[in-house]
Amino acid sequence: MDNTGPGIAGFRLTQHTWLTELGHWIDAISPDGRRAGALLFDRAVIGLPGVRDRVVRAVMIDQRLVLGGLTGLVPVADVVAAGDQVWLLTAQAVTPTLSDLLTTTARRANPAVGGVEAGGAACVLVETAQTLLTLHAAGVTHGSVHPRTVVITAEGAALLSERGLADAVRDRASAPGHDVAGWAALARVLAASFGASAVAELFERAAATAGGHGLAAARDVLIDGRGVLPGGRIGRDTLSRAARDRSAFAQAPPHATSPYGMADEGDIVTLRHVPEGTYGVDEGDIVTLLHVPEGTTGPARFAPTTAPSTGETPGPARFGPGVGAQEQGGETAAQRIWRSGGDAVTLQRAGRAARRSRARRRRTILSTAGFAVIIVGAVLAWLRMGDAPELAVSSVDVVAPKRTQGCDSAVVITGTVVTNGAPGEITYEWRKNLDEDVVRGTLRTRSGQTSYTLPLRWTLRGESDVRATATLRIVTPGPVRTGRASFRYKC
């Protein structure tokens, strides 16, 4: 990754970064001091034919939805190109995610999700279901619903990130059923976190309802069944506390009103306070790939300012720093870089080199040594990501309780999938020999992680003496692999 600067297009970058299949995410501070995020797309991804155009179209759809009143997405401030780099900048922090809170849970061996009681977990499911319903009603889908794309804000709200980006990269249009399956898998992951309990049974019932009757019915199951939750309520309070405890970045920045303010420390430059302009892409080379609504300046305001369009074709929309809002004559710089497909846009900056002071040049040299280690590590991580093999499943193992289960038992059957450690998506099915119900789901895999757990909660009631068998079938990636386990139910 060629991330050598303290900022991009006015966004200040922090040292908290992580890799995804899209590129390198970085926690950031927006120009007005708010928590934000920056995604530097993998060159191997954004450089594919048509990908950049599709990413821009997906972002512009998001911005129109946000202007129309949708509050369940992480708002995108801008998409900018700097040479051969393409950055997506968000107006909202993108950490912690639900995956982060689940990881915290595993370390603490706590049955509550990241220290959040059941009402908070139910809140995540209700809010994400409502957001997906709104997207589907607008004729679009998310395309990649999983714990890593569910962001928990400091206020406890559950927002979806990366909407449409996975589809843009793969040149596909996911069906609403793909989102429903992702949401159902999310509900089952949360159910497994609460063990054998009434809360887990509620979440499992919601997941099954989503597959058979849709997200609206599943959402209603959660709301109608909230009596089994502590206090009988669905709320954000514990989500907010868990988000703040999980990440120091979820707190308000200590100098939010002046993110760039720093004292001149002579020739000594720290990694946290780098003189503006010393490193990174020259601001004169940054070109926005979006358009600005007429009269808009500065960071976007993510609230509807006018009534939604009533059928007329909306005009060009653009948010965040970049090209001005006034009409441009002829072909703009943004249009040239969009048309050229990634060629660097060179802007004349006559006399700039002459104006740079000797002190700044000295600080540049000293700062280079400080950033060299970070650059080398980032490049190595970038190369490992670019050379990652395609996802493959090497084995499937299913474990069921060995002892006989008594009357009205809720049995948790655990499936373990071992992969080659590549990122991708696993599609799977759970089948039961005592009924025709098929539980379908998807699992997003991460680079470097090879083992994943797929739990199935099976509740049996009534008088019977049977041998129950659960079969886990991995549909994709091929070839199809299966694993099964059995237990005895006697009542």
DSSP one-letter string for 248-312: GGGSPPTTTT-TT-----TT---SS---TTSSSS-GGGEEESS-PPTT--SS---S--SPPPSSS
In single-letter form, the type of residue at position 381 comes to A
Same-domain status, 81 and 109? no
* Last residue within a domain, chosen from 196, 221, 246: 246
In single-letter form, the type of residue at position 45 comes to V
Domain range for residue 443?
A: 393-490
CATH for 38: 3.30.200.20
Two structure tokens written together for 123: 């809140």
Same-domain status, 267 and 375? yes
What pLDDT score was predicted for residue 363? 56
Same-domain status, 356 and 233? no
- The tally of domains found in the chain comes to 3
In whole angstroms, what is the distance from residue 415 CA to residue 393 CA? 13
What pLDDT score was predicted for residue 346? 36
In whole angstroms, what is the distance from residue 354 CA to residue 376 CA? 31
What pLDDT score was predicted for residue 7? 82
pTM of the predicted model as reported, rounded to 2 decimal places: 0.56
What pLDDT score was predicted for residue 84? 83
CATH for 423: 2.60.40.1930
Sign of the C-alpha dihedral, residues 131, 136, 142, 143?
Answer: positive
Q: How many CB atoms lie within 10 A of CB 409?
A: 18
In whole angstroms, what is the distance from residue 488 CA to residue 457 CA? 15
Report cis status (omega within 30 of 0) of the bond before 299: no
pLDDT in tens, the chain (491 residues): 343 446 888 899 988 888 888 999 999 999 888 899 999 999 999 999 999 999 999 999 999 998 888 899 999 999 999 888 999 999 999 999 988 887 654 444 444 444 568 999 999 999 999 999 999 999 999 999 999 999 999 899 999 999 999 999 999 999 999 999 999 999 999 998 888 899 999 999 999 999 999 999 999 999 999 999 999 999 888 888 888 877 545 443 443 333 333 333 333 222 223 333 333 444 445 667 775 444 433 333 333 333 333 333 333 333 333 333 333 344 444 444 444 444 433 333 334 444 454 555 555 555 565 555 555 555 555 455 445 578 899 899 999 998 899 998 889 999 999 998 889 999 999 999 988 888 999 998 988 888 899 999 888 888 889 999 999 999 999 888 999 999 999 99
Same-domain status, 135 and 60? no
In whole angstroms, what is the distance from residue 215 CA to residue 226 CA? 17
Task: Bin 380: left if φ > 0, else alpha if -120 < ψ < 50, else beta.
Answer: alpha
Same-domain status, 241 and 298? no
